[in-house]
Protein backbone atom coordinates (compact mmCIF):
# COMPACT_ATOMS: atom_id res chain seq x y z
CA UNK A 1 0.00 0.00 0.00
CA UNK A 2 1.34 3.42 -0.93
CA UNK A 3 0.84 6.74 0.84
CA UNK A 4 -2.22 8.82 -0.02
CA UNK A 5 -2.53 12.51 -0.74
CA UNK A 6 -4.14 15.35 1.20
CA UNK A 7 -3.53 18.68 -0.46
CA UNK A 8 0.13 18.48 -1.48
CA UNK A 9 1.14 16.05 1.28
CA UNK A 10 1.48 12.27 1.18
CA UNK A 11 0.49 10.40 4.35
CA UNK A 12 0.07 6.80 5.46
CA UNK A 13 -3.39 5.64 4.28
CA UNK A 14 -4.58 4.89 7.82
CA UNK A 15 -4.66 7.95 10.09
CA UNK A 16 -5.45 8.28 13.78
CA UNK A 17 -8.64 9.83 15.09
CA UNK A 18 -7.72 11.32 18.46
CA UNK A 19 -11.22 12.04 19.82
CA UNK A 20 -11.70 9.12 22.17
CA UNK A 21 -8.46 9.80 23.99
CA UNK A 22 -10.26 12.75 25.58
CA UNK A 23 -14.01 12.28 25.38
CA UNK A 24 -17.10 10.70 23.80
CA UNK A 25 -16.71 7.00 24.63
CA UNK A 26 -15.95 7.21 28.34
CA UNK A 27 -13.49 8.82 30.76
CA UNK A 28 -10.36 10.42 29.25
CA UNK A 29 -7.35 8.17 28.83
CA UNK A 30 -4.71 8.86 31.52
CA UNK A 31 -2.24 11.41 30.08
CA UNK A 32 0.79 9.14 30.26
CA UNK A 33 -1.03 6.36 28.40
CA UNK A 34 -2.41 8.77 25.81
CA UNK A 35 1.04 10.25 25.26
CA UNK A 36 2.55 6.80 24.83
CA UNK A 37 -0.08 5.90 22.24
CA UNK A 38 0.45 9.10 20.23
CA UNK A 39 4.20 8.61 20.19
CA UNK A 40 3.76 4.97 19.23
CA UNK A 41 1.60 6.02 16.29
CA UNK A 42 4.39 8.24 14.96
CA UNK A 43 6.99 5.55 15.61
CA UNK A 44 4.99 3.14 13.44
CA UNK A 45 4.64 5.57 10.55
CA UNK A 46 1.10 6.80 11.19
CA UNK A 47 1.56 10.49 10.31
CA UNK A 48 -1.98 11.85 9.91
CA UNK A 49 -3.60 12.90 13.20
CA UNK A 50 -7.13 14.26 13.54
CA UNK A 51 -8.44 16.36 16.43
CA UNK A 52 -11.01 19.14 16.97
CA UNK A 53 -11.88 22.07 19.19
CA UNK A 54 -14.78 20.20 20.75
CA UNK A 55 -12.83 17.07 21.69
CA UNK A 56 -12.55 17.36 25.43
CA UNK A 57 -13.37 21.08 25.11
CA UNK A 58 -9.88 21.75 23.78
CA UNK A 59 -8.00 19.30 25.98
CA UNK A 60 -7.41 16.90 23.07
CA UNK A 61 -5.52 19.60 21.20
CA UNK A 62 -3.50 20.33 24.35
CA UNK A 63 -2.75 16.62 24.74
CA UNK A 64 -1.29 16.47 21.23
CA UNK A 65 0.88 19.51 21.94
CA UNK A 66 2.21 18.16 25.23
CA UNK A 67 2.71 14.60 23.94
CA UNK A 68 4.17 15.02 20.46
CA UNK A 69 4.55 18.74 19.92
CA UNK A 70 8.33 18.23 19.94
CA UNK A 71 7.85 15.95 16.91
CA UNK A 72 5.67 18.43 14.98
CA UNK A 73 7.56 17.94 11.71
CA UNK A 74 6.66 14.22 11.72
CA UNK A 75 2.88 14.47 11.29
CA UNK A 76 0.14 16.08 9.23
CA UNK A 77 -2.19 17.78 11.71
CA UNK A 78 -5.92 18.28 11.25
CA UNK A 79 -8.29 20.10 13.57
CA UNK A 80 -11.81 21.52 13.32
CA UNK A 81 -13.86 24.57 14.17
CA UNK A 82 -17.54 25.68 14.15
CA UNK A 83 -18.77 22.97 16.55
CA UNK A 84 -18.09 23.91 20.15
CA UNK A 85 -19.45 24.04 23.68
CA UNK A 86 -20.99 27.08 25.36
CA UNK A 87 -22.54 26.98 28.82
CA UNK A 88 -22.42 23.18 28.73
CA UNK A 89 -24.26 22.88 25.41
CA UNK A 90 -23.07 22.10 21.90
CA UNK A 91 -23.25 25.14 19.65
CA UNK A 92 -22.63 25.84 15.97
CA UNK A 93 -20.93 29.10 15.01
CA UNK A 94 -19.52 29.46 11.49
CA UNK A 95 -19.45 33.25 11.39
CA UNK A 96 -16.19 34.43 9.84
CA UNK A 97 -15.04 36.22 12.99
CA UNK A 98 -15.78 33.12 15.08
CA UNK A 99 -13.85 30.84 12.74
CA UNK A 100 -10.82 33.11 12.90
CA UNK A 101 -10.97 33.36 16.69
CA UNK A 102 -11.35 29.59 16.98
CA UNK A 103 -8.30 29.05 14.80
CA UNK A 104 -6.18 31.35 16.96
CA UNK A 105 -7.31 29.47 20.06
CA UNK A 106 -6.51 26.09 18.48
CA UNK A 107 -3.07 27.26 17.38
CA UNK A 108 -2.35 28.27 20.96
CA UNK A 109 -3.60 24.97 22.44
CA UNK A 110 -1.70 22.97 19.81
CA UNK A 111 1.41 25.12 20.38
CA UNK A 112 2.04 25.33 16.65
CA UNK A 113 2.36 28.06 14.05
CA UNK A 114 0.19 26.32 11.46
CA UNK A 115 -2.55 23.70 11.24
CA UNK A 116 -2.16 21.57 8.12
CA UNK A 117 -5.87 20.89 7.59
CA UNK A 118 -8.63 22.92 9.23
CA UNK A 119 -12.20 21.67 8.86
CA UNK A 120 -15.60 23.16 9.35
CA UNK A 121 -16.82 20.47 11.75
CA UNK A 122 -20.49 20.92 10.80
CA UNK A 123 -22.55 23.17 8.53
CA UNK A 124 -24.09 26.19 10.21
CA UNK A 125 -27.58 26.81 8.78
CA UNK A 126 -27.41 30.43 9.88
CA UNK A 127 -24.28 31.31 7.91
CA UNK A 128 -23.81 30.92 4.13
CA UNK A 129 -21.10 28.38 3.39
CA UNK A 130 -19.47 30.93 1.11
CA UNK A 131 -18.90 33.32 4.01
CA UNK A 132 -17.40 30.60 6.21
CA UNK A 133 -15.08 29.30 3.50
CA UNK A 134 -14.07 32.86 2.74
CA UNK A 135 -12.88 33.19 6.33
CA UNK A 136 -10.95 29.94 6.04
CA UNK A 137 -9.38 31.22 2.82
CA UNK A 138 -8.22 34.29 4.74
CA UNK A 139 -6.57 31.95 7.26
CA UNK A 140 -4.76 30.19 4.40
CA UNK A 141 -3.55 33.55 3.11
CA UNK A 142 -2.38 34.46 6.62
CA UNK A 143 -0.35 31.24 6.85
CA UNK A 144 -2.29 29.98 9.87
CA UNK A 145 -3.70 26.94 8.05
CA UNK A 146 -2.50 25.14 4.94
CA UNK A 147 -5.66 23.46 3.66
CA UNK A 148 -9.42 23.74 4.11
CA UNK A 149 -11.66 20.80 5.00
CA UNK A 150 -15.37 20.16 5.46
CA UNK A 151 -17.11 17.61 7.67
CA UNK A 152 -20.55 15.98 7.49
CA UNK A 153 -21.62 17.93 4.40
CA UNK A 154 -23.43 16.76 1.31
CA UNK A 155 -22.61 17.22 -2.36
CA UNK A 156 -24.41 20.56 -2.74
CA UNK A 157 -22.47 22.28 0.04
CA UNK A 158 -19.20 20.72 -1.07
CA UNK A 159 -19.62 22.15 -4.57
CA UNK A 160 -20.53 25.60 -3.24
CA UNK A 161 -17.56 25.60 -0.87
CA UNK A 162 -15.15 24.38 -3.53
CA UNK A 163 -16.24 27.21 -5.83
CA UNK A 164 -15.00 29.74 -3.23
CA UNK A 165 -11.68 28.05 -2.43
CA UNK A 166 -10.29 24.58 -3.21
CA UNK A 167 -11.37 22.06 -0.57
CA UNK A 168 -8.61 19.59 0.31
CA UNK A 169 -10.63 17.05 2.32
CA UNK A 170 -14.15 16.04 3.20
CA UNK A 171 -14.64 14.06 6.39
CA UNK A 172 -17.74 12.04 7.10
CA UNK A 173 -18.70 8.68 8.55
CA UNK A 174 -18.06 5.76 6.20
CA UNK A 175 -17.77 2.08 7.00
CA UNK A 176 -19.27 -1.28 6.14
CA UNK A 177 -22.04 -0.24 8.54
CA UNK A 178 -22.56 3.26 7.08
CA UNK A 179 -22.63 3.38 3.29
CA UNK A 180 -24.21 6.81 2.77
CA UNK A 181 -21.15 8.46 1.15
CA UNK A 182 -21.68 6.13 -1.81
CA UNK A 183 -24.83 8.10 -2.69
CA UNK A 184 -22.91 11.16 -3.91
CA UNK A 185 -19.94 12.59 -2.02
CA UNK A 186 -17.49 9.71 -2.46
CA UNK A 187 -17.57 10.08 -6.24
CA UNK A 188 -17.75 13.88 -6.07
CA UNK A 189 -14.55 13.99 -4.03
CA UNK A 190 -12.81 11.83 -6.60
CA UNK A 191 -14.04 14.13 -9.37
CA UNK A 192 -12.82 17.30 -7.64
CA UNK A 193 -9.55 15.89 -6.30
CA UNK A 194 -10.69 16.06 -2.67
CA UNK A 195 -9.39 13.55 -0.13
CA UNK A 196 -12.19 11.60 1.52
CA UNK A 197 -11.51 11.08 5.24
CA UNK A 198 -13.63 8.29 6.71
CA UNK A 199 -14.36 8.72 10.41
CA UNK A 200 -15.68 5.88 12.59
CA UNK A 201 -14.42 3.38 9.97
CA UNK A 202 -14.77 0.51 12.43
CA UNK A 203 -18.39 1.39 13.18
CA UNK A 204 -17.67 3.08 16.53
CA UNK A 205 -16.34 -0.26 17.77
CA UNK A 206 -19.13 -2.36 16.29
CA UNK A 207 -16.76 -3.85 13.71
CA UNK A 208 -14.23 -4.79 16.36
CA UNK A 209 -14.14 -8.42 17.47
CA UNK A 210 -15.50 -8.87 20.01
CA UNK A 211 -17.67 -5.79 19.45
CA UNK A 212 -18.33 -3.28 22.18
CA UNK A 213 -21.38 -4.35 24.19
CA UNK A 214 -23.76 -1.39 24.72
CA UNK A 215 -24.85 -2.90 28.05
CA UNK A 216 -21.33 -2.40 29.40
CA UNK A 217 -20.74 1.10 28.04
CA UNK A 218 -19.93 3.95 30.38
CA UNK A 219 -22.82 6.20 31.36
CA UNK A 220 -21.22 9.07 29.45
CA UNK A 221 -20.60 7.05 26.29
CA UNK A 222 -22.19 8.95 23.39
CA UNK A 223 -22.96 5.68 21.60
CA UNK A 224 -25.86 5.28 24.02
CA UNK A 225 -27.53 8.00 21.94
CA UNK A 226 -27.14 6.20 18.61
CA UNK A 227 -30.13 4.12 17.47
CA UNK A 228 -28.06 1.21 16.15
CA UNK A 229 -26.66 0.60 19.63
CA UNK A 230 -30.09 0.58 21.31
CA UNK A 231 -31.36 -2.50 23.12
CA UNK A 232 -33.99 -2.93 20.41
CA UNK A 233 -31.68 -2.65 17.40
CA UNK A 234 -28.29 -3.93 18.51
CA UNK A 235 -29.09 -7.68 18.52
CA UNK A 236 -30.21 -7.44 14.90
CA UNK A 237 -26.99 -5.73 13.96
CA UNK A 238 -24.86 -8.34 15.71
CA UNK A 239 -26.14 -10.87 13.22
CA UNK A 240 -24.09 -9.08 10.53
CA UNK A 241 -20.79 -9.91 12.18
CA UNK A 242 -20.65 -13.67 11.70
CA UNK A 243 -20.07 -13.38 7.95
CA UNK A 244 -17.41 -10.73 8.55
CA UNK A 245 -15.61 -13.06 10.95
CA UNK A 246 -15.52 -15.83 8.34
CA UNK A 247 -14.19 -13.48 5.66
CA UNK A 248 -11.58 -12.03 8.01
CA UNK A 249 -10.43 -15.56 8.78
CA UNK A 250 -10.13 -16.28 5.05
CA UNK A 251 -7.98 -13.17 4.58
CA UNK A 252 -5.96 -13.80 7.75
CA UNK A 253 -6.77 -10.56 9.52
CA UNK A 254 -9.06 -9.19 12.23
CA UNK A 255 -12.58 -7.96 11.53
CA UNK A 256 -11.44 -4.38 12.18
CA UNK A 257 -8.60 -4.77 9.70
CA UNK A 258 -11.03 -6.23 7.19
CA UNK A 259 -13.27 -3.17 7.59
CA UNK A 260 -10.34 -0.78 7.11
CA UNK A 261 -8.93 -2.66 4.11
CA UNK A 262 -12.41 -2.62 2.52
CA UNK A 263 -12.46 1.17 2.77
CA UNK A 264 -9.07 1.48 1.10
CA UNK A 265 -10.42 -0.41 -1.91
CA UNK A 266 -13.16 2.20 -2.35
CA UNK A 267 -10.82 4.75 -3.88
CA UNK A 268 -7.24 5.97 -3.79
CA UNK A 269 -8.58 9.19 -2.24
CA UNK A 270 -10.06 7.41 0.81
CA UNK A 271 -8.24 7.71 4.17
CA UNK A 272 -9.81 6.04 7.24
CA UNK A 273 -9.03 7.53 10.67
CA UNK A 274 -9.85 4.87 13.29
CA UNK A 275 -9.52 5.92 16.90
CA UNK A 276 -8.33 3.77 19.77
CA UNK A 277 -6.95 3.97 23.29
CA UNK A 278 -5.09 0.66 23.03
CA UNK A 279 -1.62 0.20 21.57
CA UNK A 280 -2.39 -3.31 20.29
CA UNK A 281 -5.40 -2.04 18.35
CA UNK A 282 -3.32 0.89 17.10
CA UNK A 283 -0.77 -1.52 15.64
CA UNK A 284 -3.51 -3.60 13.99
CA UNK A 285 -5.11 -0.50 12.50
CA UNK A 286 -1.87 0.81 11.04
CA UNK A 287 -1.02 -2.63 9.63
CA UNK A 288 -4.39 -2.70 7.83
CA UNK A 289 -2.82 -0.27 5.38
CA UNK A 290 -0.74 -3.18 4.08
CA UNK A 291 -3.72 -5.47 3.36
CA UNK A 292 -5.10 -5.73 -0.16
CA UNK A 293 -8.45 -7.51 -0.32
CA UNK A 294 -9.23 -9.89 -3.19
CA UNK A 295 -12.11 -8.75 -5.42
CA UNK A 296 -14.34 -11.66 -4.39
CA UNK A 297 -14.01 -10.69 -0.70
CA UNK A 298 -14.93 -7.09 -1.49
CA UNK A 299 -17.97 -8.24 -3.46
CA UNK A 300 -19.17 -10.40 -0.58
CA UNK A 301 -18.73 -7.56 1.91
CA UNK A 302 -20.56 -5.14 -0.38
CA UNK A 303 -23.51 -7.48 -0.60
CA UNK A 304 -23.61 -8.63 3.02
CA UNK A 305 -23.37 -5.09 4.39
CA UNK A 306 -25.78 -3.57 1.88
CA UNK A 307 -27.12 -0.23 3.21
CA UNK A 308 -30.52 -1.63 4.16
CA UNK A 309 -28.94 -4.44 6.21
CA UNK A 310 -28.19 -2.20 9.21
CA UNK A 311 -30.93 -2.14 11.85
CA UNK A 312 -31.82 1.43 12.84
CA UNK A 313 -30.74 4.83 11.45
CA UNK A 314 -27.21 6.20 11.79
CA UNK A 315 -28.35 9.16 13.88
CA UNK A 316 -31.44 9.99 15.91
CA UNK A 317 -33.56 12.71 14.22
CA UNK A 318 -32.22 15.56 16.35
CA UNK A 319 -28.60 14.76 15.51
CA UNK A 320 -29.38 14.02 11.85
CA UNK A 321 -30.77 17.55 11.60
CA UNK A 322 -27.30 18.97 12.43
CA UNK A 323 -25.61 17.41 9.39
CA UNK A 324 -26.07 17.74 5.63
CA UNK A 325 -25.17 14.21 4.61
CA UNK A 326 -27.26 12.36 2.04
CA UNK A 327 -29.68 9.61 3.10
CA UNK A 328 -30.94 6.60 1.22
CA UNK A 329 -34.58 6.63 0.19
CA UNK A 330 -35.44 3.94 2.75
CA UNK A 331 -34.01 6.13 5.52
CA UNK A 332 -36.33 9.05 4.88
CA UNK A 333 -38.59 9.42 7.90
CA UNK A 334 -36.84 6.56 9.72
CA UNK A 335 -36.83 7.04 13.48
Residue closest to 121 by CA, chosen among 143, 146, 99: 99
Alpha carbon 57 to chain centroid, angstroms:
17
- Measured CA to CA, the distance from residue 223 to residue 229 in angstroms comes to 7
Q: Examine residue 210 and say whether the peptide bond preceding it is cis (omega within 30 degrees of 0).
A: yes
Residue closest to 277 by CA, chosen among 22, 11, 14: 22
- Examine the residue annotation and report whether 234 is marked as an active-site residue of this protein: no
Half-sphere exposure of 29 (CA within 13 A, CB side): 24
Half-sphere exposure of 119 (CA within 13 A, CB side): 28
Half-sphere exposure of 322 (CA within 13 A, CB side): 17
Q: Which of 55, 75, 174, 315 is catalytic?
A: 55
- Catalogue the active-site residues: 55
Amino acid sequence: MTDRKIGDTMVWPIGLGCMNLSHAYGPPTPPDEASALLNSALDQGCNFLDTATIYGAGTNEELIASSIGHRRNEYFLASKCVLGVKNGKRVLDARPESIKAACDASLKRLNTDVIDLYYMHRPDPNVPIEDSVGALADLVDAGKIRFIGLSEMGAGLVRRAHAVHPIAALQTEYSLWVRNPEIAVLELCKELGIAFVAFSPVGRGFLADPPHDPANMHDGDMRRLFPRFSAENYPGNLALLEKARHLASDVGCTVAQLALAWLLVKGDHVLPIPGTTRTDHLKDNIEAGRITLPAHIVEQLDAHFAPQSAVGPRYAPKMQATVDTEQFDFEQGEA
